[in-house]
Amino acid sequence: MSSGESAIAPARSGHSPVLLYVDGSQRRRIPLRKVPFTIGRASDQDYVVPGVNEGVSREHLVIKEITETGALTVNKALKRNGTYAHDLSLPEEFEWRFDQEIVLARKSKGAPAVHLVLKRPA
């Protein structure tokens, strides 16, 4: 890990939190093994959103810290197609709660929105 990164301490079960990527009937689990953890469409992100989705920013979200209830998250896509929870636009910094679905690029006309759920360690 590079300077400024830290490993996420595994839960008692020995597992890390995961992102659940939901695309229609397809579900993909992405383990969060370090923070910060970046999500976007650029190839240098920790999780690169599948497919070409121009509505997702090159660096869309940054998970800064895992907490007991979720993750402290930075929304870097305020000026583009945004990040939403329950049809509400999320602010620049927010707590992403475990089991909460967020939607990236909901307003994009060029590609389907991206649905992600933060899951507790198994």
Q: Where are the domains of the chain?
A: 27-119
Distance CA 111, CA 52 (A): 8
Distance CA 34, CA 92 (A): 21
Q: Do 71 and 50 form a contact (C-beta atoms < 8 A)? A: no
Average confidence (pLDDT) over 84-108: 91
pLDDT (tens digit per residue) in 44-61: 999 998 776 678 899 999
CATH number assigned to the domain covering 27-119: 2.60.200.20
Would the pTM count as exceeding 0.95?
no
Q: What are phi and psi of 16, to 5 degrees?
A: -95, 160
Distance CA 67, CA 73 (A): 11
